[in-house]
Structure 1
Amino acid sequence: MARSVSGEISTISGKQSYEKQKKQSTLCLILLLLVLVFIIVGIAVALVLTLAPPTSVDTTGTQSGPALISGTVTLQRNFTDNLLDDTTEEYRELEDEFISYMVDVFNNGSLGEYFYALEVSGFRNGSVVVYWTLTLTQLPPGITDPDELVTNANFQAFIREEIQNGIDNGNLPGLPVNRNSVAVIQINYLAPDSLPPQQPQVSPDGTNQNIGNLFPLRLRLKNTLMP
């Protein structure tokens, strides 16, 4: 009788040990599958990041020719409804002030050799958000490695550095620019020799005669970019 009880206990103990080993094996298998899933997901993410195309950019024309760069920057000042109407005195004064300071910044910075003109497309609320269009005779070398496309992101970093340098050098004493607010929205490439032959813009005079031939394209950009 004692042997029978002992045998039953041994059998139960063996079953419990087997069930425990089975659970451990199942748990190990689940952990292994989770590790494999994480590895596969990691490889997929790496491939997407590696093979993803550059930031969207309009590559009409050639990158060796003239370029129109459109973007925004924020001024830390109060917005008024007069800034929505480009016929008001307040609009024109701020437009001239912005262009005057920024022309000096670009002319005296790394873009000086390539700078052609700067234009304000409009303002909107959010302190004061300025929509601007910068015209260059060509994109300067050194923004990216040779043969790489210039994207909105890397040109945005380049323009932001130019403006920050202008602030640090005291070239924007009366313009409260948020130094981290620069954003490049669109880059448009023009056909070679498409810029008018007039002298590049030096200071705002209300006429912008040197960029008159670009007005239709500027108007389309304004209608596209302004909300």
Structure 2
Amino acid sequence: MNPANPTGLSDWPYPYWIAHRGAGKERPENTLCAFEHGSACGFSMFECDVKLSADGVPFLLHDDTLERTTNGRGPADALPWAELAQLDAGGWHSSNSAGEPLPTLATIAAHCLQQGAALNIEIKPMPGQEAATGSAVALAARALWQGQRVPPLLSSFQPAALQAAQQAAPELPRALLLDTLWSGWPEVAAQLGCVAIVCQHRLPDAALMQQARAMGWRVLCYTANRAADVQRLRALGVDGLITDEMHWARSQNLD
């Protein structure tokens, strides 16, 4: 097996355009209605954040606390799934979305598989739960996408989470998330058997693209919302863009 392609992906099966947290900002992030809206806009790949409930259920939420995007309070991992499932994860966004629940990873997997859509799962552990979350999310993803031609892409800012995912389900492709080019990141990405890096959109330049290509990595960028940024990144030859902007992305070729 090619050490630069340890998961055995013979080509890059993922679409170029990726809807951020389901449907950017037009629907409450990381909810099923956001994914449904993103699908209606024509997206065939999504990004989401996944962490664990107190009883180990993988569910979608970005923050470490519940206040911003739900009517709950406190740490996101303090409640079992039965209680998290009762929270309103849509009312903060708009009255039309009130009552929208938090979804499990299984719920979002079912939507993506029904739509034929790909998924980038950001493993978003609570502090101190990096290994446990990486392992649980990878094992859940393996089971949910069993037998599917296009597996989910697992990504994280936390190397420990990706390492646990690598150990739990080594066949699933992995990507290292980068908000800065910190010292030693290429060695870490190589050790983790990553097939891609996912960079803050201002980071890529010709030198980074050359470095990534030499290592056999694809380059994705978040969160590309301005036309000028998209034009620059496309000219550099990046392999995918994560975006919030449904409005202008609808007019693009969603390849």
Q: Bin the TM-score by the shorter chain.
A: under 0.3
**TM-score w.r.t. structure 2 length?**
0.22
Higher Rg: 1
Higher relative contact order (CA 8 A, sep 6+): 1
Structure having the larger proportion of residues in helix: 1
